[in-house]
Amino acid sequence: MQYSKYVHTFPVEDNVVALYHALLIRTVFVTNQESQQINLFFEKGTTNDHVTVEMINYLYTNYFVVNNDEEDSALYSKCMDMIAEPAISNAYIVVTENCNFNCKYCFISNAVQNVYPVKVMTKEVATNAVMLLQRTYEKQQHSYDKTITFYGGEPLLNFDIIKFFMDEVNRIKQEHYWPDDVKYALITNGSLLTKDILQSIKEYGIALSISYDVDKESHSQRIDKTGNDSYDVVKQKIALCNEMNVPFSLSITITDTLLRHRNTVLPEILKLSPLTIAFNLLIPNKETLQNDNYYEEATDFMLETFGQLRTIGMYEDRIMRKVHSFKENKMHLYDCCASGGNQYVIAPDGTIGICHGYLNNRKYFSAKVSDSEFDFREHPDYKYWKKRTPLLMPQCQDCECLSICGGGCPYAADYMYGSIYELDTRFCIHAKKVLTWLIKDLYHHITRKEQ
Ligand code: SF4
Ligand code: SF4
């Protein structure tokens, strides 16, 4: 007998180690002494100690211990059989590629290029997009999360088309199949919000996410097109949301400046009363290539904030995805909807892509919303992205984060190393730190309960 190749050990305190099954996301805590007994059993193949026998039986039943490598392979095949076929769970509707901001860290800022002259979505494209989504949902009527996200550039520069799109959805619902559980979201820099827009957002039931970096100096990278700081304007718009009782989430980019101000960030967030928050790690672009230290520090900050916010029942989205997977022993196959080919990005000119990061060069944008025969499941780009999960990537097979990390951002991997099938190494740093934290947190939770 031997440990499964998926078992990794993590010291959690002086005399205790965690045995963690990377494929099944299960954890068992043993003392150093117990661990030695297990190793002795592996060496000798027998033991007189009934406690060790019971422990080995338990570990065998839960796949931590196997008789041979073939048993690991059989378990892996069983898990792979459970991977569901792709389903479009997010559709970015890029209503405009124009933006009134010039954020220094924007990874898609190059999208504003003259080679793609149609920068503003028309009613015709919006109608075709609604019809495409209708056909897509009708073909995949099983239960899964579905979101339509209005995006840009700055989407509020073309708010009329968002309203038109929503009216088209309401019209098509009367005549055709349209699932009731589709969520609608809008990601905006917030600067153009008005009372009328907020009223419409409320009426259409669109979830509002505002990109806002919370403290003045951190937010100073989010300058408008004329180079002016946008902090005060956006702060006022957030106050307007609160005044009008329009719930909103904050999308906060972690920069070096934010990390320097880490102690003041949380109280500031709480003052703004967001519904939820989501932290963004910087995605590399030619202006902002980061070193590994940044990802270490940013992850520490996210975990620290997560630990504090959960005491008041608020959960940061990115860490929460992994907590959910860890708690429910549920494989987290993809960290974004593009991975696995579960996403449409509909550009203003009606081309359909997979990831908005490629709006700048239209890589993987080779279909059109006007093509009523388009079926993403048959499209070569979607087939290519389908297997982009750590579970199917050879580089990840021996990694402790195999089932929990989701593989980070394929676009970043492509940007850094030339293929979406390379590792997003900056994300690996983040994922490994989060997993170590989760295991220790679980241990502390269990031992606190037992005390
Ligand atoms: S691949 Fe990266 S940039 Fe593209 S949707 Fe996923 S996380 Fe975003
Ligand atoms: S992407 Fe990185 S962290 Fe995730 S499983 Fe692969 S090697 Fe591990």
CA of 396 to the centre of ligand 2 (A): 5
201-207: average pLDDT: 97
Cβ(399) – ligand 2 distance below 6 Å: yes
**Tell me: the pLDDT tens digits for 89-126?**
999 999 999 888 887 777 766 544 556 777 899 999 99
Ligand 2 test: best mutation among 299, 388, 401, most atoms within 8 Å of CB? 401
CA of 28 to the centre of ligand 1 (A): 34
Ligand 1 test: best mutation among 317, 411, 416, most atoms within 8 Å of CB? 411
Q: Find the radius of gyration of the CA atoms of the chain.
A: 24
- Atom 5 of ligand 2 has which residue's CA nearest to it? 402
Tell me the two tokens of residue 141.
């009527």
Tell me the backbone φ, ψ of residue 344, rounded to 5 degrees: -105, 140
- Atom 2 of ligand 2 has which residue's CA nearest to it? 428
pLDDT at residue 318 greater than cutoff 90:
no
Tell me the backbone φ, ψ of residue 107, rounded to 5 degrees: -85, -10
Residue type, 161: I
For residue 397, give the ligand nearest its CA: 2
Whether the CB-CB separation of 348 and 95 falls below 8 Å is answered with yes
Cβ(431) – ligand 2 distance below 6 Å: yes
Distance, in Å, from the CA atom of 377 to the CA atom of 311, rounded to the nearest integer, reads 43
Instruction: Tell me the percentage of the chain whose pLDDT exceeds 90.
Output: 78
- Using the Cα atoms of residue 221, residue 223, residue 225 and residue 226 in order, give the sign of their dihedral: negative
For residue 385, give the ligand nearest its CA: 1
At 111 the pLDDT is 45
Tell me the two tokens of residue 370.
């006007």
**Tell me: the pLDDT tens digits for 343-362?**
999 999 999 999 999 998 89
